[in-house]
Amino acid sequence: MPESETPDRQTAGQTAVPRHVAIIMDGNGRWAKKRHLPRHAGHKAGVGAVRMAVERCARAGVEVLTLFAFSSENWRRPKQEVGLLMELFMTALHREVRRLTSNDVRLRVIGDRTALPEKLQSRIARVEALTEANSGLVLQIAANYGGRWDLAQAARRLSARVLAGELRPEDIDEPNLAAELSFADLPDPDLFIRTGGELRLSNFLLWQAAYSELYFTDCLWPDFDQAQLQAAFDAFAHRERRFGKIGEQLSADTSEVGGG
Ligand code: FPP
């Protein structure tokens, strides 16, 4: 792989704490079913695991946590479940805002928010504004998000720049496509966790996860606790990230910069 293709915000080698953690929070429905409860009870219980993940990541020095709360495809679920999920997001935003601020967390929502209920859109905008100056963890909630949607909207924006005469088609390259994607200003995910036992990316962060370390666990999201998160961090700390290089080059890179 040519040097120029190496992700620019990431250097080869490994640090113990990932800068960016992305999570597919799967298994809420099965958690509820095991307890003979309605699916919604699983989503409600999932809010506790969200709170834990935010607080632990903030304390561990993670810079960005991105949670897949609602995919572009989740609209296909029964209408009642979709409605209850939207209500749950409304309530969680209302209830958690103080806790976000006391943990110095900045909230951002990624995805096509125009399709969300208007009340939810304005609450999101309010919480984003209220937490904007917080300088700790950036918490990104993916709502009505899909990796393919993200790529399509980036392509749309690039073609608008071409039409405006700002860019020639032959100048379209990886960096200027990447610059139009969601959270272009933040590092790509280092660690990509999926709970609930499925081994798929499910259209989450398709471009941005190109070099992420993948971690799959059977644990259902509401049961994902501090120990489970720590196990994912520990697994990450033992991975060798090569970004296309070979292991010997990585040792040479680290000795050049003084070891570590
Ligand atoms: C997937 O489990 C989970 C979701 C589609 C919703 C995730 C939402 C929460 C965890 C609620 C709180 C979120 C925030 C950001 C406040 P599933 O329903 O597909 O589970 P299953 O595979 O067992 O059916």
The predicted-structure confidence for 7-53, as pLDDT tens digits, reads as follows 333 344 456 899 999 999 999 999 999 999 999 999 999 999 999 99
Mean pLDDT of 93-100: 94
**Ligand 1 site, residue 18, Cβ cutoff 6 A:** no
Residue 77 CA, ligand 1 centroid: distance in Å: 12
Angstrom distance (rounded) from CA 161 to CA 166: 5
Please check the confidence at residue 6 and state whether its pLDDT lies above 80. Answer: no
Cα 186 to ligand 1 centroid, rounded to whole Å: 25
Residue (of 146, 171, 149, 148) closest to 158 by Cα position: 171
- Cβ neighbours around 37 below 10 Å, total: 14
Query: 21 alpha carbon to ligand 1 midpoint, in Å?
Result: 17
CA separation for the pair 122, 113 (Å, rounded): 10
Bridge partners (DSSP) of residue 67 are 23, 141
Please state, rounded to an integer, the average pLDDT across all residues of the chain: 91
Q: Environment class of residue 98 by beta-carbon count within 10 Å: exposed (0-12), middle (13-18) or buried (19+)?
A: exposed
Residue 254 — very low, low, confident or very high, per pLDDT cuts 50/70/90? Answer: low
What token pair was written down for 127?
Answer: 């919480």
Residue 71, helix vs strand vs coil: strand
Catalytic (active site) residue 223: no
Please report the pLDDT score of residue 176 as a whole number. 96
Catalytic residue among 26, 150, 188, 190: 26
Tell me, using a 6 A CB cutoff, whether residue 30 lines ligand 1.
yes
> Is the separation of the CB atoms in 39 and 29 below 8 Å?
yes
pTM of the model: 0.90
* Nearest atom of ligand 1 to the alpha carbon of 70: 5
Catalytic residue list contains 28: no
- Count of helix runs (H) and strand runs (E) in the chain: 8, 6
> Is the CB of 146 inside a 6 Å radius of any atom of ligand 1?
no
